[in-house]
Structure 1
Amino acid sequence: MEYTNLEKVNLKLSKLAIGTMSMPDDFNEAQNMIDFAFEKGINLLDTADLYEKGKIEALMGKALKGRRDDFLIASKVGNVWNSDGVSWHWDPSPKQIRKGLEMSLKRLKTDRIDIYQLHGGTLEDPWDDIFSTFEDLKSEGKIRAYGVSSIRPNVVRIVSKNSNASTIMSQYSPLDRRPEESIFQMATEAGIKILARGVYAKGFLINKIPKPYLTYTEAEVESTQKLINSFEYSGEAMLIGFSLAQLAIGSLVIGASSLAQLKSTCKGFQESKKIPAGLISDLQSKLPVNFYDSHR
């Protein structure tokens, strides 16, 4: 495994991280996945209080019993479930950030979260209060670093210029190259590392039946899938290599719903190291570039 250092807080993240949104609710399977991740040197587990109404965090807390220090935990806050149990609302207030943190700590059975992220963001949010709250939580030892999960350039601009954030989680793949326009540059200039999600584009770039994705038609998705799989390397390896070619990216947060999926991703990560840089450049030149049409 290779690692990236968050220089502001001196945390070393594995270049490959596990996204837990689709982690199986079977404890033994989840435990096996975490055991395998440890064997492969993966040390970052990304979750959120929103996932399964906190059940994923609780599952992780149980699975990490006795080995908390072997991993870095990233979680998110700001989306609050409504009483109907099927919808949620946005609340980035300092009060909710603190309340959400205490609940997450309890479910995760830990005394700190390594990377605490605001799970979204808008221009209207009380950013000064948000950043001040995160800084206070760092001083109190309840979090070690903080960041924001956002695909909005105008939000990333606020975070990069007005905070001491360490990470920005943003979507990136051959079907979503929008961060190349400005987000990567803003993050790099601010000493922030990107946690990239959506690397496989929901599996449409590997083996899922093509469907429309963002502004791309089904035919365009199918064409890109065929291109990704036309090389001598696996689709996973090509997509991982494509993303890690961006120096702004510190870690790829790739979800897995089974041990088999995690093994396939780890195999792709190892294989990606063999891909010549020129081949990735060739792939980049053959792919379309898309741009944000709002929140610029």
Structure 2
Amino acid sequence: MKKRRLGKSDLYVSELGLGAMSFGTNKKNVTRIIDEALHLGINYIDTADLYDYGENERLIGEALKKRRSDVILATKGGNRFQQGENGWTWDPSRKHLLAAVKESLSRLQTDYIDLYQLHGGTIDDNMDEVIDTFESLKKEGLIRAYGLSSIRPNTISHYVEHANMATVMMQYSLLDRRPEEWFSFLAEHDVSVVARGSLAKGILSPRPLETVTAAKKGYLHYSPEELAQIRRGLDTLSTNGLTRSVLALQYCLAHPPVSSVVVGASTVDQLRQNVAAVSHTSINKVVYEELAKLTTPTLYDKHRP
């Protein structure tokens, strides 16, 4: 599988990243998915301390303890929680982040995290303290690079302009094209986009639309009828192996700032389908332009600089 660089860092990740949020807590299943992902050429796994309140990290650590060097491992912090209790609170303070990194390192059974991401953030946070904390962690060798997981433009713009960030993780798909407004800005600052949600909760997957829960009441500004029309448009373009998944993921990868599309998998079969989609030959300009005509580019209407 092809690899792309994350920002100005020395990290090169597979075009398909494995999102861990949907893994579940069955150890054998998690290990099976990770085994297959590595076998198929994925080297990028993305998790967060909040997923299953730390259990997700722990299971990943168990699965990777003998092959840590084969993986670019990303996790996130900034949400304070207590194991065994539901709920969490936002805490991007230096004190909490330093403690959270150490806890993640312990659960992941590793001495370093390749990419550490702030899991959210608002313009009201002490962002300079967050940046200083991340820089300190880099100097200590506890993290190799850092980034932000956020869709808030005002927060993104501050961190990009004031920090040596490698990445911004953003929800991005054919149905959610809001990030495109910021791609030139991110490229100018050598910050990579890590895309999540690129199959739009299954709406852009091979599944029959009537089985996709997210489509039943509409998705973002699209009505159920409009989603059905978009799917028909995708099917018209689905020739020569260009399945819906191929078109959806390759559309995102066609934008140079996008380094990887992170897609979840709860089964090995799901994983294989996603790998096949990303491993397909990239779409040409004609197909790209036809895809762009199917949906509407929109802007973030809140949290603007």
Compute the TM-score of the two structures, normalised by the length of structure 1: 0.95
CA distances 1:23-53 after superposition (whole Å, capped 9, x unpaired) = 1322222222212211222111000001000
CA distances 1:171-206 after superposition (whole Å, capped 9, x unpaired) = 10011000111x212211111100000000010122
Moved more, 218-227 or 131-140: 218-227
Map of 1:249 onto structure 2: 258
State the secondary structure of the residue aligned to 2:246: helix
Map of 1:185 onto structure 2: 184
Aligned residue type for 1:239? A
Aligned residue type for 1:67? R
User: Matched residues, percent identical?
Assistant: 40
Q: In 2, Cα distance between the equivalents of 1:143 and 1:124?
A: 25
Moved more, 1-10 or 93-102: 1-10
How much does 1:228 deviate? 2.3
Unaligned runs of 5+ in 2: none
> Is the 8 Å Cα contact of residues 205 and 224 (structure 1) preserved in structure 2?
no
Map of 1:37 onto structure 2: 37
Aligned residue type for 1:280? Y
Please show how residues 23-172 of structure 1 align to structure 2 within 5 Å.
23-81=23-81, 85-172=85-172
How much does 1:8 deviate? 2.5
Compute the TM-score of the two structures, normalised by the length of structure 2: 0.92
What is the root-mean-square deviation of aligned Cα atoms in Å? 1.5
CA distances 1:229-264 after superposition (whole Å, capped 9, x unpaired) = 332221110111110011110111111111110001
How much does 1:274 deviate? 5.2
Q: In 2, Cα distance between the equivalents of 1:248 and 1:9?
A: 14
Aligned residue type for 1:192? V
Q: In 1, Cα distance between the equivalents of 2:33 and 2:83?
A: 33
Match of 1:289 among 283, 287, 297: 297
Moved more, 204-213 or 105-114: 204-213
Asked whether 1:223 is paired with 2:229, we answer: yes
Aligned residue type for 1:201? A
> Is the 8 Å Cα contact of residues 200 and 236 (structure 1) preserved in structure 2?
yes
> Is the 8 Å Cα contact of residues 15 and 278 (structure 2) preserved in structure 1?
no
How much does 1:227 deviate? 2.1
CA distances 1:106-125 after superposition (whole Å, capped 9, x unpaired) = 10000110000000010011
How much does 1:7 deviate? 5.1
Q: In 2, Cα distance between the equivalents of 1:77 and 1:9?
A: 20
Moved more, 74-83 or 35-44: 74-83
Q: In 2, Cα distance between the equivalents of 1:53 and 1:24?
A: 12
Aligned residue type for 1:224? I
State the secondary structure of the residue aligned to 2:138: helix
State the secondary structure of the residue aligned to 1:229: helix
Aligned residue type for 2:183? F
Asked whether 1:275 is paired with 2:283, we answer: yes
CA distances 1:5-30 after superposition (whole Å, capped 9, x unpaired) = 23522111111100000013222222
Moved more, 284-293 or 111-120: 284-293
Q: In 1, Cα distance between the equivalents of 2:84 and 2:56?
A: 20
State the secondary structure of the residue aligned to 2:74: strand
> Is the 8 Å Cα contact of residues 230 and 294 (structure 2) preserved in structure 1?
no
> Is the 8 Å Cα contact of residues 24 and 258 (structure 1) preserved in structure 2?
no
Aligned residue type for 2:247? M
Query: What stretches of structure 1 move > 6 A for 4+ residues in a row?
Result: none
Q: In 1, Cα distance between the equivalents of 2:6 and 2:227?
A: 34
Alignment length (residue pairs): 294
CA distances 1:149-170 after superposition (whole Å, capped 9, x unpaired) = 0011111100110000001000
Aligned residue type for 2:235? N
Moved more, 238-247 or 203-212: 203-212
